Amino acid sequence: MTAGDSGLHVEPVPRLVGHLAVPGDKSISHRAVLIGAICDGETRISGFGRSADTEATIAAVRALGVEVYEHGEETLRVFGKGMTGLSSPGRAIDCANAGTLVRLISGMLAGQAGETFELTGDASLSRRPMERVAEPLRRMGARIETTEGHLPLRIEGRGLNGIDYVLPVASAQVKSAILLAGLYADGSTTVVEPAPTRDHTERLLQAAGASVTVHPTSATVRPPARLSLGEVEVPGDFSSAAPFVVAATLVPGSELHIHGVNLNARRTGLLVILERMGASVNVYNRRPIGGEPGGDLEVHSAPLVGTTVGAKEVPLAIDELPLFALAAACARGQSVLRGAEELRAKETDRIEATVDALRAMGVRARGTDDGLVVTGVPTRIRGGRISSRGDHRLAMLGAVAGLASRDGVRIDDADAVGVSFPGFFEMLDQLRRTSAVVEDDRR
């Protein structure tokens, strides 16, 4: 890999062989800090997934008066202020690029009676829709104003009332905001989802002692007297394992083990899709990790065939859909993604950005209103030059494509990986080195 003003060049690799462990789950890391902030007493978080996004969450709770001690990279101690102890910093809270932070914290702040808060973010976050959170919170009695549907958000905390809310879009962030506001409501709050989405908020609230009843497509929370989390162990992030899973699938002769990964079925839709396409991914050492189903993955390269992914599968693989499109590019036949218009509301318009990136690397792909169509060829893709557009998932897509390409891929703005996985390229380099050693040994 070579970096410079002209982008980062990811060279093709003959095979990927080795063992690795990815950093802690970003979704759970955000939630552990946020919920820890409204617990009574200390929450000790191990395996914390450090990234620009989760750093923004630490800074946000500190601004609200919560003490957070950092012990090395991965251990945090959060000294909660109790459910209603967050105080306004008297200035805007910067949520940077973090959609999970801004949506979830809105629910908590709506219930901090007598305090007023302002939330801002970077240019990408400021383009993303915020009424989807503000509207249900207002129904709960919250005082919350968006700026024409976007950031800055202004929230006046007060007592709330419980609601039954049917989510118009399948979004774990919106569901979580409502459930967190439900902690402050008079009576119970129920959220019904069009399709199951990640349930980490429900699990952590239960672990903190709240009464949360969960059904396949709904969750109900009742206001607790207090919350207490104690210890939280964060499992490895499946979304950070996914680029390596796809790379090892696509690069012939690969055998890769990824240890200690969160395998919550509401996160691992990509595995189901890849297996349907013919991928060889074996899960072993299944074990609970920090209240989530976890395990180790063994991936062997395999030839793939095209498939169709529909609306029900979308939330289970939402952040991995660009990688699905790349896998589809190397599969035999056509692949179709439908019901994925939510991708347009991510850090970038990920339908447009993925299609543009694939085309720039010689792949036949086109966008549709709610997804994309890829015509795959079961061989190495050509390679080329792409821009991450500041989107971490796009930068990782480019890196995986580079490994599995003929000519390599040059990525502009590759540093965007720092939003979720700052050590991504170092881990890739390390893997390239260990794979080369195995190669030599085989000769």
Give catalytic residue positions. Answer: 319
Q: How far is the CB of 170 from ligand S3P (least distance, A)?
A: 7
Q: Which residues pair with 114 in a beta bridge?
A: none
Nearer to ligand S3P, 187 or 310 (CB): 310
Q: How far is the CB of 322 from ligand S3P (least distance, A)?
A: 11
Indicate the residue type of 17: V
- Binding segment (CB under 6 A) for ligand S3P, from list 12-20, 42-50, 167-175, 245-253: 167-175
Q: What angle do CA 212, 216, 220 make, to 5 degrees?
A: 25
Nearer to ligand S3P, 297 or 317 (CB): 317
Give the CB-nearest residue to ligand S3P: 27
Q: How far is the CB of 9 from ligand S3P (least distance, A)?
A: 27
Instruction: For residues 17 and 2, give the distance between their C-alpha atoms in angstroms, rounded to a whole number.
Output: 21
Nearer to ligand S3P, 100 or 405 (CB): 100
- Binding segment (CB under 6 A) for ligand S3P, from list 171-179, 217-225, 288-296, 397-405: 171-179
- Binding segment (CB under 6 A) for ligand S3P, from list 169-177, 246-254, 256-264, 382-390: 169-177
- Binding segment (CB under 6 A) for ligand S3P, from list 33-41, 83-91, 165-173, 359-367: 165-173
Q: How far is the CB of 25 from ligand S3P (least distance, A)?
A: 9
Q: How far is the CB of 34 from ligand S3P (least distance, A)?
A: 11
Nearer to ligand S3P, 192 or 302 (CB): 192
User: Which residues between 17 and 56 bind ligand S3P (CB under 6 A)?
Assistant: 27
User: Which residues between 323 and 342 bind ligand S3P (CB under 6 A)?
Assistant: 342
Q: How far is the CB of 312 from ligand S3P (least distance, A)?
A: 14
Q: How far is the CB of 195 from ligand S3P (least distance, A)?
A: 11
Q: Which of 318, 331, 374, 386 binds ligand S3P (CB under 6 A)?
A: 318
**Measuring CA to CA, how many Å separate 166 from each of 108, 156, 176, 202, 308?**
20, 24, 13, 17, 27
Q: How far is the CB of 326 from ligand S3P (least distance, A)?
A: 18
Q: Which of 97, 106, 171, 262 binds ligand S3P (CB under 6 A)?
A: 171
Lookup result for tokens 């249900």: 136
Q: Which of 40, 94, 118, 319 binds ligand S3P (CB under 6 A)?
A: 319
User: Which residues between 175 and 194 bind ligand S3P (CB under 6 A)?
Assistant: 176
Nearer to ligand S3P, 13 or 110 (CB): 110
Q: Which of 51, 112, 173, 189 binds ligand S3P (CB under 6 A)?
A: 173
**Measuring CA to CA, how many Å separate 251 from each of 57, 115, 233, 396?**
36, 54, 33, 15
Q: Does 100 bind ligand S3P (CB under 6 A)?
A: yes
Whether the Cβ atoms of residue 393 and residue 349 lie closer than 8 Å to each other: no
Whether the Cβ atoms of residue 33 and residue 55 lie closer than 8 Å to each other: no
Among residues 321, 304, 318, the alpha carbon closest in space to that of 397 is found at: 321
Q: What is the CA radius of gyration of the chain?
A: 21
Lookup result for tokens 């109790």: 82
What x-and-dash track marks residues 341-380 binding ligand S3P by CB under 6 A? -x--------------------------------------
Interface size with ligand S3P, residues (CB under 6 A):
10
Q: Which residues pair with 51 in a beta bridge?
A: none
Q: How many CB atoms lie under 10 A from the CB of residue 90? A: 9
Contacting residues toward ligand S3P, per CB under 6 A: 27, 100, 171-173, 176, 198, 318-319, 342
